[in-house]
Amino acid sequence: MPIQLLSPQLANQIAAGEVVERPASVVKELLENSLDAGANRIEVEIEKGGHKRILIRDNGKGIAKDELQLALSRHATSKIVTLDDLEHIMSLGFRGEALASISSVSRLTLTSRPESQSEAWQAYCEGREMAVTIQPAAHPKGTTIDVADLFYNTPARRKFLRTEKTEFQHIEEVIKRIALSNPQASFLLKHNGKMVKRYVADKQGSLASRIAAVLGQKFIENAVQVKVDYQGISLTAWLGNEVMLRSSNDLQFSFVNGRSMRDKLIMHAIRQAYESVWGIVEQPAFVVYMTIDPKDVDVNVHPAKHEVRFQQGRLVHDFICKSVCDALQEISEPEASEPNS
């Protein structure tokens, strides 16, 4: 075969292979878009574990009529313009790939109204064809994205979908993580028409009350809270005490600049701290929030952004390890057993 350029739809479908692994990855990308758009009320409606439908409705800033088509195009983003922007990134998205990828493997309807527009508009496109049609619609300020029949045109991917129940569990996990890092926003989750979860933001948007809502009052009551700032890095964490040592790893959460991470360096630092204070610990429970100057961390390492690269890995590792260690030591000493909140 001679060398040929991939058609745009095939290029999108190949990119979708990286970004859209399963329904939960669609939910993650769409929620991140809603949060980047400043939404503080987000509803998620799932049908059949996301196999059939994933619908996300937000009250964010919306997309103008003449940008709807662009929003669905690959490498189109409102979040960065230059490399310098990428190096100082504060938004969750920047690749301009999610909507293009998702729409290439589903039947996607995007309905939106920015505040400045008196009426809403709707764009519809169907996977392979990628022919976008635009028509007027009714919608309050904000955006609704409806993703139907995920992977209908990529049978190989579809085959890898697990049961409704399993896929829905992955979705719940994504919502938990995003809710934990966005206490300022309210989230509502429905499955097959039934309300499953509801996290309402309190007035202060406090982390502690969101953690209690997501992980339970018991976790927050038994956890020790840490807050440390060092050389521009700030760490706020709730660390499970010994009572929780045997809990499973579904109680391990870490966030860097508001992004949920399963970063090896962070996990290692925390584990090492627990081990040094309490010996071998199976699966400690913790929620760790770190903020660091965006220029000291590269988020463009992984298409789904699960990992980051720190400019000064050693420093970050030792900082986390020492902060966690100090806090655990404090509660493990009998005379100082009262956790300070």
Residue 121 binds ligand ADP, judged by CB under 6 A: no
Cβ-proximal residue to ligand ADP, closest one? 93
Least Å distance, CB 232 to ligand ADP, is 26
Beta-carbon contacts of residue 1 (< 8 Å; ≥ 6 apart): none
Please pick, from the candidates 19, 24, 72, 98, the single residue that binds Mg ion as defined by CB under 5 A: 98
Residue 77 binds Mg ion, judged by CB under 5 A: no
Let me know: does 255 contact 306? Beta carbons within 8 Å: no
Determine the Cα–Cα distance for residues 66 and 282; give it in Å rounded to an integer.
53
Determine the Cα–Cα distance for residues 10 and 68; give it in Å rounded to an integer.
21
**Which lies closer to ligand ADP via its Cβ, residue 56 or residue 325?**
56
Least Å distance, CB 92 to ligand ADP, is 7
Determine the Cα–Cα distance for residues 323 and 325; give it in Å rounded to an integer.
5
Other residues' Cβ atoms within 10 Å of the Cβ of residue 264: 9
Residue 143 binds ligand ADP, judged by CB under 6 A: yes
Please pick, from the candidates 13, 59, 77, 104, the single residue that binds ligand ADP as defined by CB under 6 A: 77
Please pick, from the candidates 9, 13, 33, 254, the single residue that binds ligand ADP as defined by CB under 6 A: 33
Single out the segment in contact with ligand ADP by CB under 6 A; choices: 70-78, 163-171, 239-247, 248-256: 70-78
Residue 62 binds ligand ADP, judged by CB under 6 A: yes
**Which lies closer to ligand ADP via its Cβ, residue 48 or residue 79?**
79
**Which lies closer to ligand ADP via its Cβ, residue 59 or residue 209?**
59
Largest CA distance in the chain: 76
Q: Which two tokens stand for residue 277?
A: 């204070």
**Which lies closer to ligand ADP via its Cβ, residue 49 or residue 60?**
60
With CA atoms as reference, report the closest residue to 238 among 250, 261, 221: 221
Least Å distance, CB 193 to Mg ion, is 27
Least Å distance, CB 220 to Mg ion, is 31
Residue 95 touches which member of ligand ADP, Mg ion, none, C-beta under 5-8 Å by kind? ligand ADP
With CB under 6 A as the rule, give the number of residues binding ligand ADP: 23
Q: Which two tokens stand for residue 14?
A: 């190949």
Q: What is the DSSP letter of 224?
A: E
Where does the chain have alpha helices with state H? 8-19, 23-36, 68-71, 83-87, 98-104, 155-159, 164-181, 207-215, 217-222, 264-278, 313-332
Let me know: does 238 contact 206? Beta carbons within 8 Å: no
Burial class (CB in 10 A: 0-12, 13-18, 19+), 187: buried
Where does 188-292 have alpha helices with state H? 207-215, 217-222, 264-278
Determine the Cα–Cα distance for residues 23 and 18; give it in Å rounded to an integer.
13
Binding mask 84-103 for ligand ADP (x = CB under 6 A): ---------xxxxxxxx---
Residue 63 touches which member of Mg ion, ligand ADP, none, C-beta under 5-8 Å by kind? ligand ADP
- Angle in degrees, 0-180, between the axes of helices 207-215 and 164-181, rounded to the nearest 10: 160
Residues in 197-226 that interact with ligand ADP by CB under 6 A: none
Please pick, from the candidates 9, 13, 25, 33, the single residue that binds Mg ion as defined by CB under 5 A: 33
Least Å distance, CB 274 to ligand ADP, is 36
**Which lies closer to ligand ADP via its Cβ, residue 57 or residue 177?**
57
Site for ligand ADP, rule CB under 6 A:
29, 33-34, 37, 58, 60-63, 71, 76-79, 93-100, 143
Q: Which residues bind Mg ion (CB under 5 A)?
A: 33, 93, 98
